[in-house]
Structure 1
């Protein structure tokens, strides 16, 4: 049996919106003369809300366990965010989200047995959606303006039995994990690899939300996800037919995919016979798809974006390079082949795609697993950059030799890693949207760079503007629910570099790979129990600010971290001595005669390490340690180490293009006289007041003296990582007008 909805019907469904429930079709065969015919297969459209509301799904026995890796999770998240961002504007009301363009997620197969409802196909998407709902529940539950949404999300997460906390996915193997995630608990001893993968997938969802979903957009995103994102539910009726449908839809049938259509389009004008290149195409597809799912299509898109960057990837009428590359090529035929000759389409394959695909396969391998000499690519993947090769493919030419290709790839990977670090240190987003914007700006110059030296100069011109951001080491604070992934990464790189330079081996991969259950954890040098240090810093808020600065942190194995947290620093020095050298350097014995490698390291790198001295005031000690971390970071990410060539003269910082989510900025409001520099701001949450200052460059400095690039970043910082809409959180001085209201006045005046 082959079941599918034709393209016209899918298009009609999407144009009608995803919030409507109803049967789209009745499919199946009734045997003639059957005395008791089975129910025919039924299909209905279902929004995410309808899929979860009042439902509980067991998993079919033929279903594989949860297997999505970081790449698949973040690809789904990126598709959702990109679709949402095309519609959302900062001045929209929540109700406006009901009119946003819908998004279709595909189909799921269900059946019933003994009054239980089962998922026969679609587990990966449904489980990932459940994890997203749990994350959104945590974000909305911490805000006053989204309490109703929080309550709704909880009912969807817990399915039909909220009292017994029977989750929408009822599999008993996942229950403890779901329960821990819903309650904000740390990693548990789940045992089964697929359950561990579920827990890790939630961390992937969390990191992606932190980097790509601004707090002011949260209410609209929740509404759009629940009411405008849809699937088709195929009700098979019984287990036998569910298995039959599962096999048919996964193993049999001929359904033209975007890649099939692209192949037909490109090879159709090959002479003397279109089939002459078929073997070459099959080899390319087999080589790439063996490394990663859908890799061939991603490769083609990346090459087209790199080589035809002057053509917009979205025509505004639904024909996009991401969704329909063959239709996009048809639309831009005259621009790509202004003097078309028979065979030109096929040459795009033979001259542009075929020579480059082996190198792209290497890129995918380096991204999936750490390879010596190409760790920058793996680091970028670990930081959530799931589409990092567009700039690399712009730099690569089919005439390059293998060594030059590899050197260019390393340059670009190091450049993107530097972007992540220098953005993270000043609390700016470095997610896929920011990467895409950076790549769009640089692609023309990178494409013109023929040699490795040319590329190093082109990237160096942009990177030169980022190095002042290393001063952020002195002011950035650790917020567990805000910037934990970045702080773990930053500390891991510092710790691993020091381990390597003192002869212990580079442990960065081990620290970031979560080999054991808990992985590595951020360790505060100073305990959370303020009473232990009240005689040193009487004010609890001031103490909290000091203990969360980067200089007051180290990275330890998770199991070790748990046993040390409540002790005073002086009492932990002995334990630190047996761990990583960055922590061990706090112990006085690390400076004895026997520590030759550590001494040589300090002398060679000219770094001012000091043992902990309890007589030194905590602020002075933390400041000194932060200065040390800054000096280490500047060496690790030094331009010459990364292969970048910085300009000898200062380069003017290009004015970034405004993104849809930032139609009006604080800088613009200041420039137009709507706001004044050094204006005091006040925010309140749960009867607690927070003060901040608007700086002349559009940043907001909070009471901790830490500057933040946006109202939302500043609000979430003072709220210890809880989600907030910074534009409505901050009010002007003692008045009642919010930053959002000032922005609205300015928009009306324009």
Structure 2
């Protein structure tokens, strides 16, 4: 009798010739952007450590493997039930769907393409079914596979169908799957998105990413394994190890116990305010902001240096770099906790609050946080210029200044169709963290303004004439910023973002290609129809009515419901070409007002 089997298996092996079910009692997919970003960053970093120019599909097998942890399955001789690991397998499925389309979009030769569909579908009962076989999610997954160019446009219809069906789905995973796929399209590193690297990356991902498959043959055995893996043992985390080291270096027992009590209280405060493991993120962000100097080069086989070591083992890094942190005698360790840790952890808790909760004095941080760079990059930037000798006003001005830079940097790069994923921009941001460390306010403002000018050149906003609509998620956020700029004080920014509510906003095109009867070869007209200026946010419950209107009545409808507040002086325009030209010019002016560099 078999009780359990465990073996290393590649991602390709796991997602081939199997069909998995996710039982109803644990079926929600709950990964957020933070987890997707970490996954993509880790995979890209592991791949780049092996890749060197000149590599081909024939040489990638020499690359090292990347371990993604265990998954626990129950084999009941019908299907494999995922007991632990559905978050990762669902996320890998979304990544494979993205890569399936990326191969086609790049126009790869057939010999360079990988048959990714066999890792999405399995043949059962004379028909193809999804390998991740969850009925309530099948439609949205199939939609992502079949209609990648319309996914963000059709999601509202999909949600309405689900809400209005005889048996409406309450699976929160549907919206989350769409949002995480959208994250992947934004966060996938641009330096992997080419005809040379992408085919190698896909093969490496499928064959060198390894999971330990633990297969039990009864649900009871499977859950016993799962509980044992997650509940047994109380190993120290890096925060506790760091505390133990620092306290051991304080000679005075009274001071040591004082700091022990303070440390536990402050770590509790951090976790209470932010969440589990947020203490780990704080120490990584603080140490990178104030002390890290070096980072690993892109050369194959390069060693991890300060920024990377702090990310993986900050407790060990501190012990090895006491001189850099000015820790020599007992009192240094005492005041490092009593003064430095106290000061920067307090700021960190406040920053988290500013970024995640509406606050009148720091509203700009809250708004910018809906579309921004990774926390592992933004927090070091915020903390880097702040010094213990700063006045409260000076600290606040530095926070405003850094937020303005992050907001503009993120938006401008997206205008330019450049990735903002952690793995793509981290070297640039880490260099900037060092450059602005402990800087005075005027110096900080000068440095960051220069950096933005380097990005935009003579075009002060990077928003080009007839800017192309190529990112539904971002431009929904973009138009929300514009509506909020004109909105009354009682309007919340979050209410302008996409949600399932009937009164929420969705992104719609104002005119369609066939509205003007223009010849197909009219390139300029096509550019106008495909431009950002031809899109608008309207309430979901107005969409059907709006789409049924003829051309002459659309602008009047949008004006009546205040969907075009920026065009209040242009309401008499009936010509499509003229309207889009005028609105494009107005939008470029608004970008300068909203994302100014002062």
Q: Distance in 1 between matches of 2:97 and 2:241?
A: 38
Residue 409 of structure 1 aligns with which residue? 399
Q: CA deviation at 1:90?
A: 5.7
Q: Structure 2 vs 1, CA of residues 219 and 580 (structure 1 numbering), >3 Å: closer, same or farther? A: farther
The TM-score with structure 2 as length reference comes to: 0.84
Note if contact 1:527-1:565 (Cα within 8 Å) is conserved in structure 2: no
Task: Tell me the secondary structure at the aligned position of residue 557 of structure 2.
Answer: helix
Q: Structure 2 vs 1, CA of residues 444 and 92 (structure 1 numbering), >3 Å: closer, same or farther? A: same
Which residue among 577, 581, 588 is the counterpart of 1:623?
A: 581
Note if contact 1:149-1:222 (Cα within 8 Å) is conserved in structure 2: no
User: Is 1:154 the counterpart of 2:143 in the alignment?
Assistant: no
Residue 512 of structure 1 aligns with which residue? 497
Residue 556 of structure 2 aligns with which residue? 574
Q: CA deviation at 1:393?
A: 1.1
1:598-640 Cα offsets, whole Å, 9 max, x none, are: xxxxxxxxxxx422433x5x54543332221111111112234
Residue 594 of structure 2 aligns with which residue? 636
Q: CA deviation at 1:519?
A: 5.9
Note if contact 1:131-1:202 (Cα within 8 Å) is conserved in structure 2: yes
Note if contact 2:372-2:406 (Cα within 8 Å) is conserved in structure 1: no
Note if contact 1:107-1:231 (Cα within 8 Å) is conserved in structure 2: yes
User: Is 1:473 the counterpart of 2:455 in the alignment?
Assistant: no
Residue 416 of structure 2 aligns with which residue? 426
Residue 298 of structure 1 aligns with which residue? 281
Residue 193 of structure 2 aligns with which residue? 214
1:659-682 Cα offsets, whole Å, 9 max, x none, are: xxxxxxxxxxxxxxxxxxxxxxxx
Task: Tell me the secondary structure at the aligned position of residue 286 of structure 1.
Answer: helix
1:68-119 Cα offsets, whole Å, 9 max, x none, are: 2222222222222233334445643233433333322222112223533121
Residue 513 of structure 2 aligns with which residue? 528
Task: Tell me the secondary structure at the aligned position of residue 132 of structure 2.
Answer: coil
Q: Distance in 2 between matches of 1:221 and 1:347?
A: 48
Which residue among 344, 348, 356 is the counterpart of 1:360?
A: 348
Q: CA deviation at 1:296?
A: 1.4
Q: Structure 2 vs 1, CA of residues 572 and 559 (structure 1 numbering), >3 Å: closer, same or farther? A: same
Q: Distance in 2 between matches of 1:334 and 1:343?
A: 14
Which residue among 228, 235, 250 is the counterpart of 1:255?
A: 235
Between structures 1 and 2, the one with greater helix share: 2
Stretch moving more, 257-266 or 43-52: 257-266
Residue 16 of structure 2 aligns with which residue? 53
Note if contact 1:211-1:430 (Cα within 8 Å) is conserved in structure 2: no
Stretch moving more, 298-307 or 274-283: 274-283
User: Is 1:196 the counterpart of 2:175 in the alignment?
Assistant: yes
Greater relative contact order structure (CA < 8 Å, 6+ sep): 2
Note if contact 2:373-2:410 (Cα within 8 Å) is conserved in structure 1: no
RMSD of Structure 2 on Structure 1 (CA): 3.3
Q: What pairs up with 1:124-139 in 2 under 5 angstroms?
A: 124-139=87-102
Q: Distance in 2 between matches of 1:140 and 1:466?
A: 29
Q: Distance in 2 between matches of 1:517 and 1:215?
A: 40
Note if contact 2:296-2:303 (Cα within 8 Å) is conserved in structure 1: no
1:573-612 Cα offsets, whole Å, 9 max, x none, are: 2321233342x665xxx5xxxxxxxxxxxxxxxxxx4224
Q: Distance in 1 between matches of 2:125 and 2:465?
A: 43
Task: Tell me the secondary structure at the aligned position of residue 629 of structure 1.
Answer: helix
Q: Structure 2 vs 1, CA of residues 115 and 416 (structure 1 numbering), >3 Å: closer, same or farther? A: same
Residue 111 of structure 1 aligns with which residue? 74
Q: Structure 2 vs 1, CA of residues 426 and 205 (structure 1 numbering), >3 Å: closer, same or farther? A: closer
Unaligned runs of 5+ in 1: 1-37, 591-608, 641-750
User: Is 1:611 the counterpart of 2:596 in the alignment?
Assistant: no
Residue 85 of structure 1 aligns with which residue? 48
Note if contact 1:528-1:566 (Cα within 8 Å) is conserved in structure 2: no
Residue 659 of structure 1 aligns with which residue? none
1:484-525 Cα offsets, whole Å, 9 max, x none, are: 333333222222212x2xx47555422235353896443333
Q: What pairs up with 1:476-491 in 2 under 5 angstroms?
A: 476-479=466-469, 482-491=470-479
Q: Distance in 1 between matches of 2:578 and 2:449?
A: 35
Q: Distance in 1 between matches of 2:58 and 2:333?
A: 46
Note if contact 1:526-1:569 (Cα within 8 Å) is conserved in structure 2: yes
Q: Structure 2 vs 1, CA of residues 506 and 439 (structure 1 numbering), >3 Å: closer, same or farther? A: farther
Residue 549 of structure 1 aligns with which residue? 531
Stretch moving more, 205-214 or 629-638: 205-214
Stretch moving more, 301-310 or 197-206: 197-206
Q: Structure 2 vs 1, CA of residues 149 and 548 (structure 1 numbering), >3 Å: closer, same or farther? A: same
Q: Distance in 1 between matches of 2:282 and 2:324?
A: 21
Note if contact 1:56-1:168 (Cα within 8 Å) is conserved in structure 2: yes
Task: Tell me the secondary structure at the aligned position of residue 556 of structure 1.
Answer: strand
Q: CA deviation at 1:417?
A: 0.6
Note if contact 2:537-2:563 (Cα within 8 Å) is conserved in structure 1: no
Q: What pairs up with 1:1-400 in 2 under 5 angstroms?
A: 39-60=2-23, 63=26, 65-89=28-52, 91-145=54-108, 147=110, 152-159=115-122, 161=124, 164-184=127-147, 185=151, 186-187=154-155, 188-189=158-159, 190=162, 191-192=169-170, 193-209=172-188, 213-216=192-195, 217-273=197-253, 277-290=259-272, 291-312=274-295, 316-317=302-303, 320-337=309-326, 340-342=328-330, 344=332, 347-387=335-375, 388-400=378-390
Unaligned runs of 5+ in 2: 163-168
Q: Structure 2 vs 1, CA of residues 391 and 53 (structure 1 numbering), >3 Å: closer, same or farther? A: same
Q: CA deviation at 1:156?
A: 0.9
Q: CA deviation at 1:379?
A: 4.2
1:511-555 Cα offsets, whole Å, 9 max, x none, are: 2353538964433332121xx4235x6634332112122333322
Q: What is the aligned length?
A: 569
Note if contact 1:74-1:384 (Cα within 8 Å) is conserved in structure 2: no
Note if contact 2:84-2:226 (Cα within 8 Å) is conserved in structure 1: yes
Residue 165 of structure 2 aligns with which residue? none
The TM-score with structure 1 as length reference comes to: 0.68
Q: CA deviation at 1:565?
A: 4.4
Note if contact 2:64-2:208 (Cα within 8 Å) is conserved in structure 1: yes
Q: Distance in 1 between matches of 2:245 and 2:290?
A: 18
Q: Distance in 2 between matches of 1:66 and 1:325?
A: 31
Q: CA deviation at 1:348?
A: 4.0
